[in-house]
Chain A
Protein backbone atom coordinates (compact mmCIF):
# COMPACT_ATOMS: atom_id res chain seq x y z
CA UNK A 1 0.00 0.00 0.00
CA UNK A 2 2.87 2.37 0.92
CA UNK A 3 4.41 1.55 -2.38
CA UNK A 4 1.23 2.61 -4.20
CA UNK A 5 1.01 5.90 -2.33
CA UNK A 6 4.62 6.66 -3.24
CA UNK A 7 3.89 5.76 -6.84
CA UNK A 8 0.84 8.03 -6.91
CA UNK A 9 2.69 10.97 -5.35
CA UNK A 10 5.64 10.65 -7.65
CA UNK A 11 3.41 10.31 -10.74
CA UNK A 12 1.42 13.38 -9.75
CA UNK A 13 4.16 15.79 -8.73
CA UNK A 14 7.75 14.61 -8.80
CA UNK A 15 7.75 12.98 -12.21
CA UNK A 16 4.94 15.23 -13.40
CA UNK A 17 4.14 14.40 -16.99
CA UNK A 18 4.44 17.94 -18.33
CA UNK A 19 6.96 19.66 -16.11
CA UNK A 20 9.32 16.78 -15.57
CA UNK A 21 8.81 14.22 -18.33
CA UNK A 22 7.97 16.69 -21.12
CA UNK A 23 5.04 14.72 -22.46
CA UNK A 24 1.89 16.48 -23.61
CA UNK A 25 3.52 19.83 -24.33
CA UNK A 26 1.51 20.58 -27.49
CA UNK A 27 -1.90 20.76 -25.80
CA UNK A 28 -0.20 22.35 -22.79
CA UNK A 29 0.74 25.36 -24.90
CA UNK A 30 -2.17 25.16 -27.29
CA UNK A 31 -5.26 24.59 -25.19
CA UNK A 32 -4.35 26.38 -21.99
CA UNK A 33 -5.55 29.84 -23.01
CA UNK A 34 -8.96 29.44 -21.43
CA UNK A 35 -9.74 27.78 -18.11
CA UNK A 36 -12.79 25.91 -19.34
CA UNK A 37 -10.94 24.51 -22.36
CA UNK A 38 -8.07 23.41 -20.16
CA UNK A 39 -10.42 21.62 -17.79
CA UNK A 40 -12.24 19.87 -20.63
CA UNK A 41 -8.99 18.87 -22.32
CA UNK A 42 -7.47 17.61 -19.10
CA UNK A 43 -10.48 15.44 -18.32
CA UNK A 44 -10.63 14.08 -21.87
CA UNK A 45 -6.93 13.18 -21.77
CA UNK A 46 -7.28 11.54 -18.35
CA UNK A 47 -10.15 9.45 -19.64
CA UNK A 48 -8.37 8.38 -22.84
CA UNK A 49 -5.16 7.66 -20.91
CA UNK A 50 -6.90 5.40 -18.43
CA UNK A 51 -8.71 3.32 -21.02
CA UNK A 52 -5.86 3.18 -23.52
CA UNK A 53 -3.27 2.24 -20.87
CA UNK A 54 -5.51 -0.52 -19.53
CA UNK A 55 -6.27 -1.94 -22.97
CA UNK A 56 -2.67 -1.72 -24.18
CA UNK A 57 -1.36 -3.23 -20.94
CA UNK A 58 -3.68 -6.21 -21.32
CA UNK A 59 -2.86 -6.55 -25.01
CA UNK A 60 0.87 -6.50 -24.29
CA UNK A 61 0.77 -9.01 -21.47
CA UNK A 62 -1.64 -11.48 -23.00
CA UNK A 63 -1.08 -11.16 -26.73
CA UNK A 64 2.22 -9.56 -27.68
CA UNK A 65 4.37 -11.18 -25.01
CA UNK A 66 2.59 -14.50 -25.34
CA UNK A 67 3.36 -14.71 -29.05
CA UNK A 68 6.80 -13.15 -28.67
CA UNK A 69 6.01 -10.23 -30.94
CA UNK A 70 6.83 -7.51 -28.42
CA UNK A 71 8.30 -5.40 -31.20
CA UNK A 72 4.81 -4.82 -32.63
CA UNK A 73 4.15 -2.76 -29.52
CA UNK A 74 4.38 0.70 -31.09
CA UNK A 75 2.08 -0.11 -34.01
CA UNK A 76 -0.55 -1.87 -31.89
CA UNK A 77 -0.55 0.79 -29.17
CA UNK A 78 -0.94 3.75 -31.49
CA UNK A 79 -3.72 2.03 -33.45
CA UNK A 80 -5.58 1.29 -30.19
CA UNK A 81 -5.22 4.92 -29.12
CA UNK A 82 -6.37 6.23 -32.52
CA UNK A 83 -9.49 4.05 -32.46
CA UNK A 84 -10.25 5.03 -28.88
CA UNK A 85 -10.05 8.73 -29.65
CA UNK A 86 -12.31 8.18 -32.64
CA UNK A 87 -14.86 6.50 -30.36
CA UNK A 88 -14.63 9.28 -27.76
CA UNK A 89 -15.15 11.85 -30.51
CA UNK A 90 -18.30 10.13 -31.78
CA UNK A 91 -19.57 9.72 -28.22
CA UNK A 92 -18.98 13.37 -27.30
CA UNK A 93 -20.64 14.58 -30.50
CA UNK A 94 -23.84 12.84 -29.46
CA UNK A 95 -23.74 13.42 -25.72
CA UNK A 96 -22.25 16.90 -25.34
CA UNK A 97 -22.04 18.85 -28.61
CA UNK A 98 -21.02 22.00 -26.73
CA UNK A 99 -17.90 20.41 -25.28
CA UNK A 100 -17.20 18.78 -28.63
CA UNK A 101 -17.28 22.16 -30.30
CA UNK A 102 -15.18 23.81 -27.61
CA UNK A 103 -12.42 21.24 -27.87
CA UNK A 104 -12.51 21.51 -31.65
CA UNK A 105 -9.34 20.37 -33.38
CA UNK A 106 -7.71 19.39 -30.09
CA UNK A 107 -9.88 16.33 -29.61
CA UNK A 108 -8.52 14.31 -32.56
CA UNK A 109 -5.11 15.67 -31.57
CA UNK A 110 -5.25 13.60 -28.40
CA UNK A 111 -4.17 10.76 -30.68
CA UNK A 112 -0.83 12.45 -31.28
CA UNK A 113 -0.54 13.53 -27.65
CA UNK A 114 2.85 12.21 -26.54
CA UNK A 115 1.41 11.78 -23.09
CA UNK A 116 -1.15 9.12 -23.98
CA UNK A 117 1.24 6.90 -25.95
CA UNK A 118 4.03 7.78 -23.53
CA UNK A 119 2.16 6.58 -20.46
CA UNK A 120 1.15 3.36 -22.21
CA UNK A 121 4.78 2.62 -23.03
CA UNK A 122 6.08 3.72 -19.62
CA UNK A 123 3.73 1.29 -17.87
CA UNK A 124 5.32 -1.52 -19.85
CA UNK A 125 8.93 -0.41 -19.51
CA UNK A 126 8.54 0.13 -15.76
CA UNK A 127 7.05 -3.36 -15.52
CA UNK A 128 4.01 -2.31 -13.52
CA UNK A 129 1.43 -4.88 -12.55
CA UNK A 130 -2.23 -4.16 -13.26
CA UNK A 131 -2.96 -2.25 -10.05
CA UNK A 132 0.27 -0.23 -10.26
CA UNK A 133 -0.58 0.58 -13.87
CA UNK A 134 -4.02 1.90 -12.87
CA UNK A 135 -2.63 4.02 -10.03
CA UNK A 136 0.26 5.38 -12.08
CA UNK A 137 -1.93 6.25 -15.08
CA UNK A 138 -4.62 7.91 -12.97
CA UNK A 139 -2.18 10.14 -11.14
CA UNK A 140 -0.22 10.97 -14.27
CA UNK A 141 -3.52 12.05 -15.85
CA UNK A 142 -4.47 14.03 -12.75
CA UNK A 143 -1.04 15.67 -12.79
CA UNK A 144 -1.62 16.67 -16.40
CA UNK A 145 -5.02 18.12 -15.53
CA UNK A 146 -3.62 19.94 -12.50
CA UNK A 147 -0.75 21.58 -14.37
CA UNK A 148 -2.74 22.49 -17.44
CA UNK A 149 -5.44 24.08 -15.29
CA UNK A 150 -3.00 26.14 -13.20
CA UNK A 151 -1.27 27.18 -16.39
CA UNK A 152 -4.53 28.30 -17.99
CA UNK A 153 -5.25 30.53 -15.01
CA UNK A 154 -1.79 32.07 -15.35
CA UNK A 155 -2.22 32.58 -19.07
CA UNK A 156 -5.56 34.31 -18.70
CA UNK A 157 -3.80 36.88 -16.54
CA UNK A 158 -0.82 36.95 -18.88
CA UNK A 159 -3.03 37.99 -21.77
CA UNK A 160 -3.82 41.23 -19.96
CA UNK A 161 -0.21 42.05 -19.10
CA UNK A 162 2.05 44.32 -21.17
CA UNK A 163 4.48 41.90 -22.79
CA UNK A 164 7.26 42.83 -25.26
CA UNK A 165 6.26 41.97 -28.81
CA UNK A 166 8.90 39.31 -29.31
CA UNK A 167 7.74 37.40 -26.26
CA UNK A 168 3.99 37.36 -26.95
CA UNK A 169 2.42 33.94 -27.16
CA UNK A 170 4.65 30.89 -26.96
CA UNK A 171 7.91 32.42 -25.62
CA UNK A 172 6.41 33.99 -22.50
CA UNK A 173 4.29 30.88 -21.91
CA UNK A 174 7.45 28.78 -21.96
CA UNK A 175 9.20 31.05 -19.51
CA UNK A 176 6.25 30.87 -17.12
CA UNK A 177 6.35 27.09 -17.56
CA UNK A 178 10.04 27.21 -16.59
CA UNK A 179 9.10 28.83 -13.28
CA UNK A 180 6.41 26.22 -12.67
CA UNK A 181 9.01 23.55 -13.45
CA UNK A 182 11.35 24.86 -10.73
CA UNK A 183 8.53 24.78 -8.19
CA UNK A 184 7.56 21.21 -9.05
CA UNK A 185 11.14 19.95 -9.15
CA UNK A 186 11.75 21.07 -5.57
CA UNK A 187 9.10 18.61 -4.41
CA UNK A 188 11.56 15.87 -5.20
CA UNK A 189 13.38 16.54 -1.99
CA UNK A 190 10.42 15.62 0.18
CA UNK A 191 10.77 11.85 0.12
Chain B
Protein backbone atom coordinates (compact mmCIF):
# COMPACT_ATOMS: atom_id res chain seq x y z
CA UNK B 1 0.00 0.00 0.00
CA UNK B 2 1.39 3.40 -0.79
CA UNK B 3 2.34 5.73 1.99
CA UNK B 4 -0.25 8.36 1.22
CA UNK B 5 -3.08 5.88 1.63
CA UNK B 6 -1.73 4.65 4.95
CA UNK B 7 -1.40 8.21 6.24
CA UNK B 8 -4.94 8.89 5.14
CA UNK B 9 -6.13 5.82 7.02
CA UNK B 10 -4.23 6.89 10.13
CA UNK B 11 -6.00 10.25 9.98
CA UNK B 12 -9.35 8.53 9.56
CA UNK B 13 -8.56 6.23 12.46
CA UNK B 14 -7.72 9.18 14.68
CA UNK B 15 -10.93 10.84 13.65
CA UNK B 16 -12.89 7.77 14.68
CA UNK B 17 -11.13 7.50 18.03
CA UNK B 18 -11.90 11.14 18.73
CA UNK B 19 -15.47 10.71 17.62
CA UNK B 20 -15.96 7.82 20.02
CA UNK B 21 -14.32 9.74 22.87
CA UNK B 22 -16.62 12.68 22.24
CA UNK B 23 -19.72 10.53 22.14
CA UNK B 24 -18.76 9.20 25.57
CA UNK B 25 -18.37 12.71 26.96
CA UNK B 26 -21.63 13.66 25.27
CA UNK B 27 -23.40 10.78 27.01
CA UNK B 28 -22.46 12.24 30.35
CA UNK B 29 -22.97 15.91 29.64
CA UNK B 30 -26.02 15.91 27.36
CA UNK B 31 -28.70 15.52 30.07
CA UNK B 32 -27.20 18.31 32.12
CA UNK B 33 -26.98 20.53 29.02
CA UNK B 34 -30.65 19.92 28.27
CA UNK B 35 -31.50 20.97 31.82
CA UNK B 36 -29.52 24.18 31.41
CA UNK B 37 -31.15 25.03 28.07
CA UNK B 38 -34.63 24.24 29.33
CA UNK B 39 -34.13 26.38 32.41
CA UNK B 40 -33.48 29.34 30.16
CA UNK B 41 -36.29 28.62 27.72
CA UNK B 42 -38.82 28.10 30.45
CA UNK B 43 -37.42 30.72 32.82
CA UNK B 44 -40.79 32.32 33.39
CA UNK B 45 -42.37 28.95 34.09
CA UNK B 46 -39.68 28.28 36.66
CA UNK B 47 -41.24 30.94 38.83
CA UNK B 48 -44.51 29.03 38.97
CA UNK B 49 -43.41 25.41 39.09
CA UNK B 50 -40.43 23.19 39.76
CA UNK B 51 -39.60 22.35 36.14
CA UNK B 52 -37.83 19.06 36.88
CA UNK B 53 -41.18 17.51 37.83
CA UNK B 54 -42.62 17.88 34.34
CA UNK B 55 -42.24 17.21 30.64
CA UNK B 56 -42.85 20.53 28.94
CA UNK B 57 -44.05 21.15 25.41
CA UNK B 58 -45.18 24.32 23.72
CA UNK B 59 -47.83 25.33 21.21
CA UNK B 60 -48.18 28.64 19.38
CA UNK B 61 -51.50 30.21 20.26
CA UNK B 62 -53.50 32.34 17.82
CA UNK B 63 -55.15 35.72 18.21
CA UNK B 64 -54.72 37.05 21.72
CA UNK B 65 -52.81 33.97 22.81
CA UNK B 66 -49.04 33.69 22.56
CA UNK B 67 -46.97 30.64 23.43
CA UNK B 68 -48.91 28.06 25.43
CA UNK B 69 -46.87 25.71 27.60
CA UNK B 70 -48.27 22.29 28.38
CA UNK B 71 -46.93 20.64 31.52
CA UNK B 72 -47.33 16.88 31.71
CA UNK B 73 -46.17 14.47 34.37
CA UNK B 74 -42.81 13.00 33.44
CA UNK B 75 -43.34 10.05 31.13
CA UNK B 76 -47.12 10.23 31.03
CA UNK B 77 -49.68 11.91 28.83
CA UNK B 78 -51.70 13.43 31.69
CA UNK B 79 -51.76 17.20 31.55
CA UNK B 80 -50.99 18.59 34.98
CA UNK B 81 -51.08 22.27 34.12
CA UNK B 82 -51.19 24.71 31.24
CA UNK B 83 -49.47 28.08 31.24
CA UNK B 84 -50.97 30.63 28.85
CA UNK B 85 -49.44 33.77 27.36
CA UNK B 86 -52.53 35.95 26.90
CA UNK B 87 -53.13 39.57 25.91
CA UNK B 88 -55.98 42.04 26.34
CA UNK B 89 -56.58 45.73 25.64
CA UNK B 90 -56.17 47.96 28.64
CA UNK B 91 -56.34 51.74 28.97
CA UNK B 92 -53.36 52.49 26.74
CA UNK B 93 -53.70 52.53 22.96
CA UNK B 94 -50.06 51.77 22.34
CA UNK B 95 -50.07 48.18 23.52
CA UNK B 96 -51.93 45.38 25.17
CA UNK B 97 -51.49 44.01 28.65
CA UNK B 98 -49.70 40.66 28.40
CA UNK B 99 -49.90 38.06 31.14
CA UNK B 100 -48.64 34.59 31.92
CA UNK B 101 -51.35 32.64 33.70
CA UNK B 102 -50.76 29.14 35.06
CA UNK B 103 -53.84 26.95 35.47
CA UNK B 104 -53.73 23.50 37.06
CA UNK B 105 -55.73 20.50 35.83
CA UNK B 106 -58.20 20.98 38.67
CA UNK B 107 -59.01 24.46 37.29
CA UNK B 108 -57.27 26.22 40.20
CA UNK B 109 -55.08 29.14 39.27
CA UNK B 110 -51.53 28.32 40.34
CA UNK B 111 -50.05 31.74 39.73
CA UNK B 112 -49.94 34.61 37.25
CA UNK B 113 -47.65 37.40 36.22
CA UNK B 114 -48.00 40.59 34.21
CA UNK B 115 -45.25 40.30 31.63
CA UNK B 116 -45.62 43.59 29.80
CA UNK B 117 -47.98 46.51 29.48
CA UNK B 118 -48.16 50.12 28.32
CA UNK B 119 -50.29 51.43 31.17
CA UNK B 120 -49.74 54.68 33.04
CA UNK B 121 -47.15 54.74 35.79
CA UNK B 122 -48.76 55.23 39.16
CA UNK B 123 -52.15 54.19 37.84
CA UNK B 124 -52.63 51.18 35.59
CA UNK B 125 -49.03 50.16 36.09
CA UNK B 126 -49.94 49.06 39.60
CA UNK B 127 -51.31 45.84 38.13
CA UNK B 128 -47.80 44.47 38.17
CA UNK B 129 -47.32 42.40 41.33
CA UNK B 130 -50.91 43.01 42.36
CA UNK B 131 -52.84 40.13 43.91
CA UNK B 132 -56.10 39.85 42.02
CA UNK B 133 -57.46 37.20 44.35
CA UNK B 134 -58.37 34.63 41.72
CA UNK B 135 -58.30 31.03 42.96
CA UNK B 136 -60.29 29.17 40.36
CA UNK B 137 -60.23 30.05 36.70
CA UNK B 138 -63.98 29.71 36.30
CA UNK B 139 -64.87 31.75 39.35
CA UNK B 140 -64.06 35.44 39.07
CA UNK B 141 -66.59 36.62 41.68
CA UNK B 142 -63.86 37.40 44.17
CA UNK B 143 -61.77 39.27 41.59
CA UNK B 144 -59.99 42.11 43.33
CA UNK B 145 -59.32 44.89 40.86
CA UNK B 146 -56.84 47.72 41.34
CA UNK B 147 -58.80 50.67 42.63
CA UNK B 148 -59.27 53.65 40.33
CA UNK B 149 -58.14 51.96 37.13
CA UNK B 150 -61.15 50.30 35.63
CA UNK B 151 -60.00 49.76 32.06
CA UNK B 152 -56.66 48.26 33.08
CA UNK B 153 -58.23 45.97 35.67
CA UNK B 154 -60.79 44.89 33.11
CA UNK B 155 -57.96 43.88 30.81
CA UNK B 156 -56.73 41.50 33.49
CA UNK B 157 -60.24 40.14 33.98
CA UNK B 158 -60.53 39.63 30.23
CA UNK B 159 -57.32 37.60 30.24
CA UNK B 160 -58.73 35.23 32.84
CA UNK B 161 -62.04 35.03 30.99
CA UNK B 162 -60.38 34.20 27.69
CA UNK B 163 -58.73 31.24 29.37
CA UNK B 164 -61.83 30.02 31.19
CA UNK B 165 -63.58 29.86 27.82
CA UNK B 166 -61.09 27.35 26.46
CA UNK B 167 -59.65 25.60 29.50
CA UNK B 168 -62.02 22.64 29.43
CA UNK B 169 -61.25 21.85 25.78
CA UNK B 170 -57.50 22.31 26.29
CA UNK B 171 -57.30 20.08 29.34
CA UNK B 172 -59.18 17.45 27.39
CA UNK B 173 -56.34 17.36 24.91
CA UNK B 174 -57.62 19.99 22.48
CA UNK B 175 -54.20 21.56 22.03
CA UNK B 176 -52.39 20.09 19.04
CA UNK B 177 -48.62 20.35 18.81
Contact = CB atoms under 8 A, between A and B. Distances in A.
Interface of chain B, main secondary structure:
helix
B22 interface: yes
B23 to A, nearest CB: 7
Interface string B22-39: 110110000000000000
A69 B18 contact: no
Interface in B4-32: 15, 18-19, 22-23, 25-26
Interface in A17-76: 69, 71-72, 75
Contacts of A69: 19, 23
Contact of A75 (B18, B23, B25, B26): B18
Contacts, number: 11
A69 B25 CA distance: 12
A161 to B, nearest CB: 49
A71 B18 contact: no
Contacts of B25: 71
A72 B24 CA distance: 12
Interface in B23-60: 23, 25-26
Nearest to B33: A71
Contacts of B18: 75
A31 B26 CA distance: 40
Contacts of B22: 71-72, 75
Contacts of A72: 19, 22
A109 B24 CA distance: 32
Interface string B136-165: 000000000000000000000000000000
A69 B23 CA distance: 8
Interface string A71-93: 11001000000000000000000
A69 B22 CA distance: 9
Interface of A: 69, 71-72, 75
10 contacts: A69-B19, A71-B22, A71-B25, A71-B26, A72-B19, A72-B22, A75-B15, A75-B18, A75-B19, A75-B22
Given A72-B22, A75-B22, 9 more contacts: A69-B19, A69-B23, A71-B22, A71-B25, A71-B26, A72-B19, A75-B15, A75-B18, A75-B19
